[in-house]
């Protein structure tokens, strides 16, 4: 988990939409990194980057999401929920250049790196968002007494994707433009 982020922002890359368009309640937290050269900025990223709680590795970007739910019991005693009652929120933590006088060539390289880092993080967030309906399905199949366990099991199954995705992409190394 990152320590106190330097800023929280709705991120727009070069005037384009963020990769999280269409996903509700995504917040981007940025940790400040300094330097004017690629090497100095890389050292700053390495010093400030968060730790992935799944495997303990330090990573440049980190996505955390939460799925919660509400359900109702009808007059016949049947408990159920709908996708409208499945809550979702995500926090994505990535670096932000704190120095305003970074040379244009270095800033352009950082921007390419950040865009691909965000694309990797989108893979985590979008998968959870797209599969939140599985929580509703599990709840509806469980019956009133099994709602909590069924919902939590569905969330754990979705979370297993994060671990597998990072393993398959080597924490995004297969898609993130290197910054070093």
Are 36 and 16 in contact by the 8 Å Cβ rule? The answer is no
Q: What is the pLDDT of residue 26?
A: 96
- Once rounded to an integer, what is the mean pLDDT over residues 24-43? 97
Measure the CA angle with vertex 77, ends 148 and 139; round to 5°: 30
Q: Is 22 left (phi over 0), alpha (psi -120 to 50) or beta?
A: left
Q: What is the pLDDT of residue 102?
A: 97
pLDDT band for position 45 (50/70/90)? very high
- Taking CA atoms, 96 is separated from 9, 77, 108, 172, in Å, by 10, 52, 13, 18
Q: Is the pLDDT of residue 4 over 80?
A: no
| DSSP structural state of residue 9 | E
Q: What is the pLDDT of residue 5?
A: 35
Give the burial string for 98-129 (b: 16+ CB within 10 Å, else e).
beeebeeebbebbebbbbbbbebbbbbbbbbb
pLDDT tens-place string over residues 55-110? 999 999 999 999 999 999 999 999 999 999 999 999 999 999 999 999 999 999 99
In the chain, DSSP finds a helix count (H) and a strand count (E) of 4, 6
pLDDT tens-place string over residues 115-173? 999 999 999 999 999 999 999 999 999 999 999 999 999 999 999 999 999 999 999 99
Q: What is the pLDDT of residue 103?
A: 97
Helix (H, G, I), strand (E, B) or coil at 53: coil
Looking at the chain, how many residues does it have? Answer: 180
Q: Is the pLDDT of residue 15 over 70?
A: no
Q: What is the pLDDT of residue 8?
A: 38
Q: What is the pLDDT of residue 18?
A: 75
Closest by alpha carbon to 6, among 33, 38, 30? 30
């Amino acid at each position: 988990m990152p320590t106190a982020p330097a800023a929280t922002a709705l991120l727009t890359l070069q005037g384009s939409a963020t990769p999280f368009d269409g996903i509700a309640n995504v917040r981007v937290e940025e940790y400040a990194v300094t330097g004017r050269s690629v090497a100095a900025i890389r050292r700053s990223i390495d010093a400030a980057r968060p730790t992935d709680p799944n495997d303990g590795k330090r990573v440049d970007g980190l996505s955390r999401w939460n799925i919660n739910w509400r359900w109702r019991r009808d007059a016949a005693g049947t408990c159920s929920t709908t996708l409208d009652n499945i809550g979702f929120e995500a926090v994505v933590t990535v670096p932000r250049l704190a120095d305003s006088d970074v040379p244009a060539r270095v800033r352009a390289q950082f921007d390419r790196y950040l865009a691909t880092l965000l694309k990797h993080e989108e893979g985590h967030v979008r998968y959870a968002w797209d599969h939140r309906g599985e929580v509703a399905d599990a709840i509806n199949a469980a019956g009133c007494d099994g709602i909590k366990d069924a919902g939590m099991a569905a969330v754990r199954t979705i979370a297993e994707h994060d671990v597998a995705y990072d393993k398959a992409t080597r924490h995004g190394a297969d898609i993130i433009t290197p910054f070093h």
